[in-house]
Chains A and B, each alone.
Chain A
Amino acid sequence: MAVTVLGLVGCRKDGPLPQSMATEPFPLEVPAWMPAVPVPGDNPLTRPAVELGKHLFFEPRLSRTGTVSCGSCHFPDHAFSDTVALSLGVDQQPGMRNAPTLANVAYHPELFRDGGVPNLEMQVLAPILDEHEMDHDVLVLAGELRDQEPYRSLSQLAYGRALDPYVITRAIASYERTLISGWSRFDRYLYEGDSMALTTSEANGWQLFSGPVAGCTGCHSGFDLSDHSYRNVGQYLTYADPGRARISLDPADEGKFKVPTLRNIARTAPYMHDGAMATLEEVVDHFASGGLAHPNKDPLLGPFTLTAQERTDLLAFLHALTDERPLDQVP
């Protein structure tokens, strides 16, 4: 019986996944200059796990109403972010925060904008159980999908067990771990020595971005253009959302949110933790203003002045952070 089950196949357009692929590593492409993707030892990045995760990621039956999948709020064409300020969950209920891009989420030391979840595996439960998002019972949904293909076969192949909450969380985490961003023109310019990859305006924008006037790299640093720290950027004088303080319980963290990656930023509007800014122009102008005088506002933020050309250059640079290939590496 076990042999029969394990010999079953996943659903692929180009044919079944053979049993020999059960432990085959997923052929993840990562730019040579980027750090290796962190993968937990108890959830190796195998081909069937990632394929199962992709099926589950776009499965609306994860939600109580059968209408909302992860992909309903994380659109591949928008670097796996949403196009509205607050995503709508089951029964058209708005979520709490703007759905962020999942690009390079594998590298995040903590998940969510307040860092409340320590790893991707544990993050998966949150939208499924959240009454404003999918509002489902993960045990019930596992039962609903368990005997359906491709879930039955891929679950056995990837994890040697029937679909259950463990498999669901591990598989979706595996898929999310493969969403790598590192193929923008900026990457070619900075990391691959292609000095022609950026226009003059974009290159000037990079100089502004990383220079002392704008000083954006004080927070948007490193290969992910984020140091993944939590900062208050003076968006409000009083925050309706406590941000990092919700987790740390420290009033000094009120209004602090994780510094977002700027990769594919031109595709991930609207912006800020609540999606309150519709355009990159608004965002640039906010930071140029130095932000509002919230007591927790980050000391790195201060007003600066840009000429019209400099503002154009900075915006051009931000548009050069868009990947030239899809984030999704699963056929």
Chain B
Amino acid sequence: MMNQNRTHRSVAIVALSCGMALLVGCHKPYGTDGPQGLVRLKVEATWQGQPLQAGSVHLNVTNYRTQVELLKLYLAELRLTGPGGATELADIALFDALNGGTEELFEAEAGTYSGLHLGLGVPAALNATDPVLYPVGHPLSVSNGTYWTWATGYRFVMFDGRYDTDPNGTGVPTNLFSIHSGMDPCYRVRDLAFAAPFTVDGGDTTDLVLQLEVDRFFHNAVDTIDLVTDHQAHGDNMPLAMRFSDNVLGSIKVQ
């Protein structure tokens, strides 16, 4: 009951926060019932360190002019971790990372934490649930348009845009790319360490920013995604979807 009350209070807080999307799943802190604070988590896309705007054109690792038009993703199992214990922020949340990104408010136990645990995508247990069971506003609601009915699962990362292989080209790139990851093998987890202790004070709101370095979506130390051959994945190109998932996970940076 205590946790239910916290969830309802938190949801009310989020609903009252102007400009914030109500796209967080239920969350319940665990550990001791100490004082509570709020964590405002922002997820924003960047390109070489600068906020990524929809429609802006950048050269990627293969020297292609690249224009991102859509970048939405699920983060799951969000929890602050540290030697003193952990506090769960949310079991699932949906973010739109372009144009400065979106923020979500999570209730958290006051304390000092050293890292953030997250999953990229929707964990298998949630991925198998029926989307019509979730109310509008829930990240897993059918209203979000993120559900693959044919596979009874959610798209984890939706990444759409245009590209042009001529680095000296002008105007809107002509070729389309659309890479959507999904299905259980694409789920990834990662533990991010904070550079400095992250403190949540009771009754206060603390900001936490995750950056997605989109320029790194196209490569890692051993693999490069060439949009000429690797530009479509909608459940029909799992090798690309899994490579892409690895790159997105690796691109996440915590501030």
Contacts known (A117-B149, A247-B151, A249-B183); A125 close to B236, Cβ less than 8 A: no
Determine if B150 and A139 form an interchain contact, defined as CB atoms under 8 angstroms apart.
no
Question: Which of B131, B132, B151 has the most chain A CB atoms closer than 10 A to its own CB?
Answer: B132
Q: Write the B130-160 contact mask toward A (1 if CB under 8 angstroms, else 0).
A: 1111001000001100010111100000000
Instruction: Give which listed residue, A122, A130, A249, contacts B152 with CB less than 8 A.
Output: A122
Please report which residues of chain B, range 202-221, place their CB below 8 angstroms from some CB of chain A when the two chains form the complex: none
How many A-B contacts are there with CB distance less than 8 Å? 46
A223 contacts partner chain B, Cβ-Cβ < 8 Å: no
Determine if A126 and B143 form an interchain contact, defined as CB atoms under 8 angstroms apart.
no
Instruction: Give which listed residue, B132, B183, B236, contacts A165 with CB less than 8 A.
Output: B132
Contacts known (A166-B132, A249-B238); A139 close to B149, Cβ less than 8 A: no
- B132 contact set on A, CB distance < 8 A: 125, 138, 164-166, 169
Docked pose: A125 CA to B131 CA in angstroms: 9
Question: Which of B136, B151, B238 has the most chain A CB atoms closer than 10 A to its own CB?
Answer: B151
Contacts known (A165-B132, A166-B132, A169-B132); A116 close to B142, Cβ less than 8 A: no
Determine if B147 and A125 form an interchain contact, defined as CB atoms under 8 angstroms apart.
yes
Determine if B150 and A249 form an interchain contact, defined as CB atoms under 8 angstroms apart.
no
Please report which residues of chain B, range 158-183, place their CB below 8 angstroms from some CB of chain A when the two chains form the complex: 183
- A165 contact set on B, CB distance < 8 A: 132, 142
Determine if A118 and B152 form an interchain contact, defined as CB atoms under 8 angstroms apart.
yes
Docked pose: A140 CA to B183 CA in angstroms: 27
- What's the minimum C-beta distance from B158 to chain A, rounded to whole angstroms? 15
B34 contacts partner chain A, Cβ-Cβ < 8 Å: no
Docked pose: A246 CA to B149 CA in angstroms: 13
Determine if A139 and B130 form an interchain contact, defined as CB atoms under 8 angstroms apart.
no
A129 contacts partner chain B, Cβ-Cβ < 8 Å: yes
A121 contacts partner chain B, Cβ-Cβ < 8 Å: yes
- A26 contact set on B, CB distance < 8 A: none
- What's the minimum C-beta distance from B242 to chain A, rounded to whole angstroms? 10
- What's the minimum C-beta distance from A162 to chain B, rounded to whole angstroms? 13
Determine if B142 and A125 form an interchain contact, defined as CB atoms under 8 angstroms apart.
yes
- B152 contact set on A, CB distance < 8 A: 116-118, 122
Nearest-CB residue, chain A, relative to B242: A249
- What's the minimum C-beta distance from A165 to chain B, rounded to whole angstroms? 4
Docked pose: A242 CA to B235 CA in angstroms: 11
New A-B contacts (9) at CB < 8 Å, excluding given A112-B150, A139-B136, A246-B235: A116-B150, A116-B152, A122-B149, A125-B142, A126-B150, A129-B142, A166-B133, A249-B185, A249-B238
By a beta-carbon cutoff of 8 Å, the part of chain B in contact with chain A is 128, 130-133, 136, 142-143, 147, 149-152, 183, 185, 235-236, 238
Closest 10 A/B residue pairs (Cβ):
A126-B149, A165-B132, A125-B149, A166-B132, A117-B152, A116-B150, A129-B149, A116-B151, A139-B143, A122-B130
